[in-house]
Amino acid sequence: MEEEGAEYDPEWEGGEEGDGGEYVCKYEYLDHTADVQLHSWGSDLKEAFEQCAVGMFGYMTEIETVEPLDTYETEAQADDMENLLYQFLDEWLFAFSAEPFFIARDVKIVEFDRENFRIKSVGYGETFDLSKHPQGTEVKAITYSAMQIHEEVDTNDVYVVLDI
């Protein structure tokens, strides 16, 4: 989904769920000695993954200062579900760390191929701008430490530790 004429619109609607257009925040940051553990959840695993990516961006800046002026797409390919979560987040970290230095206000998964462990997703955001976006904490890497993906519960909780 693209932003035509790129203007900040708080009523912007996301994806097929069309849940009314407000930004949901289904993630939190948990205690971890040296780094941060991201906990996200959702009405399905797809949403939990999406919220995980947004949570990661939220740690690097004040997410409310990011406007959905542009879109960027990433693809992740893996061998199993944990590896997939890892690659999915790593692709977004890479989009931020190198050209186009993209920071997303929201992330939507457009293809979630569970048989072949592939995800295609779109980010709505803009290029990171030091004069506009406050500097939060840099995420150095995604880790497998204490990674958990719980599909068996309605909340589809996902836990991942980010190296800071």
Partner 1 sequence: MPENRSYNDELNFLDKIDANTWRIKKGFVPNMKVDGFFYVNDLLEKLMFDELRQHSRAAGFGGFLPAMKQIANVAALPGIVQKSVGLPDVHAGYGFAIGNLAAFDMSNPEAVVSPGGVGFDINCGVRLLRTNLDERDVQPVKDELAQAMFDHIPVGVGSKGVIPMGARDLEEALEMGVDWSLREGYAWAEDKEHCEEYGRMLNADQSAVGSKAKKRGLPQLGTLGAGNHYAEIQVVDEIFDDYASQRMGIDHKGQVVVMIHSGSRGFGHQVATDALVAMEKAMKRDKVLTNDRQLACARIHSPEGQEYLKGMACAANFAWVNRSSMTFLSRQAFAKVFNTTPDDLDMQLIYDVSHNIAKMEEHIVDGKQTTLLVHRKGSTRAFPPHHPLIPVDYQLSGQPVLIGGTMGTCSYVLTGTEKGMEQTFGTTCHGAGRAWSRAKSRRNLDYQEVLDRLAELGISIRVASPKLVMEEAPESYKNVTDVVNTCHAVGISKKAIKLRPIAVIKG
Q: Please give the residue ranges that form the binding site for partner 1 (CB under 8 A).
A: 29-37, 39, 60-61, 79, 82-83, 90, 94, 97-99, 101, 128, 130, 133-138, 140-146, 148, 159, 161, 163-164
Q: Are 86 and 144 in contact (CB under 8 A)?
A: yes
Nearest Cα residue to 141 out of 105, 91, 72, 100: 91
Give just the sign of the alpha carbon dihedral 155, 86, 82, 75.
Answer: positive
Residue closer to partner 1, measured from CB, 108 or 119: 119
Residue closer to partner 1, measured from CB, 14 or 36: 36
> Least distance to partner 1 from the beta carbon of 89, Å?
11
> Least distance to partner 1 from the beta carbon of 153, Å?
10
Distance CA 47, CA 145 (A): 22
> Least distance to partner 1 from the beta carbon of 11, Å?
28
Instruction: Give the tokens for residue 159.
Output: 């836990």
Residue closer to partner 1, measured from CB, 7 or 94: 94
Residue closer to partner 1, measured from CB, 109 or 149: 149
Q: Could you tell me which residues come within 8 angstroms of residue 124 by beta carbon, excluding any fewer than 6 positions away?
A: 1, 3, 12, 14, 68, 70, 71, 104, 105, 106, 107, 108
Phi and psi at residue 151, in whole multiples of 5°? -85, -15
> Least distance to partner 1 from the beta carbon of 108, Å?
23
> Least distance to partner 1 from the beta carbon of 49, Å?
17
Residue closer to partner 1, measured from CB, 9 or 75: 75
